[in-house]
Amino acid sequence: MSNSELATSYAALILADDDVEITPDKLQTLIKAANIDDVESIWTTLFAKALEGKNVKDMLLNVGSGGGAAAAPTGGAGGATAESAPEEAKEEKKEEEKEESDEDMGFGLFD
């Protein structure tokens, strides 16, 4: 991340923390108050448009939540799936052994 992006990000976080609307002008004012001169106005405009109508605090609190996780099985179905897992592992081992036996038959690349 460049200094311009970092400065704009921090300014947006400061405004969000104070429950102030995030606008390009307010971002630019904070950046100038911090004596950072090399931030182009495009960054403040991009950040303001990206965060327009969004609650930054909620976004930060829900970073790791994902939201799309499947629910865990409940009731009697949980026991059935726990029993089928070792069977699947055994089947995978058998398939791997079959693949290894093909190599022993002399079907090599340079034979």
Using one digit for the tens of pLDDT, what is the confidence trace for 70-79? 555 565 555 5
Nearest alpha-carbon partner for 34 in 15, 13, 10: 10
Would you state the pLDDT for residue 95? 59
pLDDT in tens, the chain (111 residues): 788 889 998 899 898 888 889 999 999 999 999 998 888 888 889 989 988 888 888 888 887 776 555 555 565 555 555 555 666 666 666 655 555 555 566 666 676
Nearest alpha-carbon partner for 56 in 6, 105, 14: 14
